[in-house]
Amino acid sequence: MRRLLLILNGKSAQREDVRGAVERVRGEGCEVRVRVTYDGDDAAQFAREAVRLAGDARPQVIVAGGGDGTVNQVVAAALEAEPATDCAFGVLPLGTANDFATGLGLPVDDVAAALALCAAAAPRRIDVGRINGRVFVNVASGGSVTRITRETDPRAKRLLGGAAYLIAGASRIGELAPTRAAFAADGFSWEGDFIAMAIGNGRLAGGGVPLCAEARVDDGRLDLTLFPQPDADNLMTLLSGLLREPGSQFDGYARKARFTRLTIEAEEDLALNLDGEPMSARRLDVQVDPAALSFITGK
């Protein structure tokens, strides 16, 4: 009997498929406790409390029920409270994008199957990233283009797929202001203006865009993909390709690096999105914590 704690985003508390998934796993002999979030800090508080429990009161698997932001809140709070916790973690993918769960090979369209994996599958060790001490497990992104992918209407994404990003980018082209910064990592340095950057432990961000197409969550490194500012004639071509097929046609354009430590120094505060959670700073110290987390994956 595996002991599960499901930290469930309150927006999904009334979903019948979630209720059915919990009942099914309980029926197979697992203990499933459910805590539903109401305020913004609830997921983090529930995670902190869970890893500090003793003995059989402590869950064996803490399941983040929500999107990438919920996963980030749960994992970051748990590691802050107990860096060496023996709890494993899992995802019940209930967000709009579910980029991290998709990258892990989890059944994002089958809630019951995803929770069943949390109840039965063997966890494996994965890395986590840190920026100025803050944890991310999937992708940290910044720059004008990544902001557009983040702010694109989820309803348009569901209806139009990747074309929604292209339409949004074309309509907001005047907002594609470059950011100037210097990057220094293991055997890599670059300084100049860029319109998008991504630091990946995972592969996908912005609703399935493979910004760090070659990243692996268990290789002990993070991946950087950096898109310098193009000239005006090529801006729309770049935007089109970046939002639709970033891994294929920019091998000669995007700057890429794989590293254990990276420093970014910008001329002004650089706004980032860490698994859906915002932060900003003028200097960013990035590092990987290898094998820091025990996680249920689909492959």
110 Cβ contact partners less than 8 Å away, ≥ 6 residues apart: none
266, containing H or E segment: strand 261-274
Could you give the CA distance from residue 161 to residue 130 in angstroms, rounded to a whole number? Answer: 31
Answer for the pair 164, 157: CB distance below 8 angstroms, yes or no.
yes
The neighbouring-strand residues paired with 172 are none
Distance (Å, rounded) from C-alpha 125 to C-alpha 117?
A: 16
Bridging pattern class, strands 222-228 and 124-131: unpaired
Count of C-beta atoms within a 10 Å radius of residue 16: 8
Written as one string, the DSSP assignment of 42-77 is HHHHHHHHHHT--GGGS-SEEEEEESHHHHHHHHHH
Dihedral sign of CA atoms 297, 79, 40, 222 in order: negative
Active-site pick, 31, 49, 82, 277: 277
Q: Which of 134, 167, 164 is nearest to 280 (CA)?
A: 134
β 3-8/61-66 pair status: parallel
Concerning whether 277 is annotated as a catalytic residue, the answer is yes
C-alpha to C-alpha distance for 217 and 115, rounded to whole angstroms: 21
Residue positions annotated with a catalytic role = 277
